[in-house]
Chain A
Amino acid sequence: MSWISRLAARAPVPVFIAQGESAPDALARLALNPAIHVVDSPRAACILLISGRIPSALADCLNRLHDQLPHPRATVLWQSHAMEPFSNAVEVDASDDIANALSATFADLLAGDRPSEADILPDAPPNEWRGIGPHGQGGKGMMGGTPYGRPMAKTDDDIRDGLSLDAYTADFGPFLPMFPAGLALTLTLQGDMIQAVTVAHPPFEGDTAARERLLRLLGLSALALRSLHGQKGDGTFRRLVRLSRARAAIPADLGRLPDGSDVRSRFDAMVTGLQTAPASDTDMTLGDLLVGLEWHEALLVINSLDNATLRGVCARMDAPPDSTNDATHADHDMHAEHMG
């Protein structure tokens, strides 16, 4: 082990968390451990921590996430079930100390005692494109083709002013740190405004980290960490949030529900620790709440809703029967069209 890897092994372990169903309660408090650095992007992580049960519908998403970690990388399964591609991952039970396991895996990885995990997905673009078409761009025409294996965006009317510009459609989640765990949305964006939304996977039941995510989104990561201590009636915490003027940073009248609450009032309730009754008797869909909002507003709305309400709102939207398959078919259809 060279001196530089010994030095690197003493740094906090960069961990990206993929949270599954019924993950251990201690997961939320992992960020409080000084030996662990919970990162927001798999590109900054060294260890992928899979915690809880991952539904089989999300297995593909997990494989994509795993491959985005830079080398050297390792996977740790914490109170999770064994999955096919992660056969040589480190398994941690409820009785083991997760922080020790993560540090030990990190040190082994840097020392070279543990080989870096190979890609799960094949090293091929989503569609074949090289050398096809008059300029090798994968199709014909200025706007045709599939550069890097992805079809070009099609034009769509902007709902604000009807300008016909390119709409970007992508699946966001289910392991996005700024989304509730498990929530996967297919969003169509015009610039950063949400034009259409479909629920690809609803959030898992029993998510309680909404307050922490909301504070983090508002740029108050130190207060977000403090909120994890979870002491009821922490007067200093409430005063610090008030002094930060975070409430004024939330646009007024955002994400109003039929019960009269908006993001500001729900944020107040979260900070003071009041348990408001879930407003799950609304007949609003996620489309009613999010369409027309810009990305930052939409994230505030999503994270201001409690788990029961958000699950109710997501359930009212008819999810596509099998979104991943549909997406691949669409890819091929568009591809064929450009080829034709």
Chain B
Amino acid sequence: MTTIISIAGILALAVLFVGVLRAAGWSDFAGSATAPQQRPVLGGGDPQTHAWQRFHVRYYTMTLLFVAFEMEMMFMYPWAVVYVAEGGKALAEMGMFLAILSVGILYGWREGIFRWE
């Protein structure tokens, strides 16, 4: 019973908090912004295109490398626990897993992840 009461209390507090925030926001920005107010601030300048665009995420090769090594370690710890019991089958499985991951690392190598810039 106390659990239900405390959950209801937390919910009520959350609703109250959000309600106060919404009310404060509404009083601050009464009315929607006009079209000239929606322009990006460029010091009087005007954009020629919409800002919704694709750009190059330049850290993606680093992410690839991180994921490759991290996944390897994540799988290796539980594998090391069962390796003695499972024997050769576990070794073959880990070999396949590492082969797949190393393709990613080789791809990264080709893309120049390991070149220091």
Contacts and interface: CB of A to CB of B under 8 A. Distances in A.
A176 interface: yes
B43 A65 contact: yes
A200 B48 CA distance: 14
A120 B46 CA distance: 15
Interface string A113-142: 000000111111110000000000000000
A65 B51 contact: no
Given A163-B56, A165-B54, A166-B54, A64 B49 contact: no
Interface in B26-76: 34-56, 58
Nearest to A187: B45
B48 A331 contact: yes
A327 B46 contact: yes
B7 to A, nearest CB: 38
B44 A184 contact: yes
A148 B50 contact: yes
Contacts of B51: 168
Interface string B13-30: 000000000000000000
A67 interface: yes
Contacts of B49: 150-154, 168-170
Contacts of B48: 150-151, 169-171, 327, 330-331
Nearest to A121: B36
Interface residues of A, number: 53
A158 interface: yes
The B contact surface, by secondary structure, is loop
Contact of B42 (A120, A163, A172): A172
Contacts of A147: 50, 52
Contacts of B40: 170
Contacts of A190: 55-56
Given A68-B37, A124-B35, A171 B46 contact: yes
B44 A166 contact: no
A105 interface: no
Nearest to A330: B48
B110 to A, nearest CB: 14
B50 A172 contact: no
B55 A166 contact: yes
A64 B46 contact: yes
Nearest to A169: B48
A158 B56 CA distance: 9
Nearest to B30: A71
B50 A119 contact: no
B36 A64 contact: yes
Contacts of B44: 18, 58, 60-62, 64-65, 173-176, 184
A291 B106 CA distance: 33
Contacts of A148: 38, 50
A307 interface: no
A126 B39 CA distance: 10
Interface string A276-319: 00000000000000000000000000000000000000000000
Central interface residue in B36, B38, B56, by most chain A CB within 10 Å: B36
Contacts of A163: 56
Contacts of A75: none
B116 to A, nearest CB: 17
A78 interface: no
B53 A119 contact: no
Contact of A119 (B36, B45, B56): B36
A58 B45 CA distance: 10
Nearest to B45: A171
A67 B55 contact: no
12 contacts: A64-B46, A67-B37, A119-B34, A119-B37, A121-B35, A123-B35, A148-B50, A152-B50, A166-B54, A170-B40, A171-B47, A175-B44
Interface of B: 34-56, 58
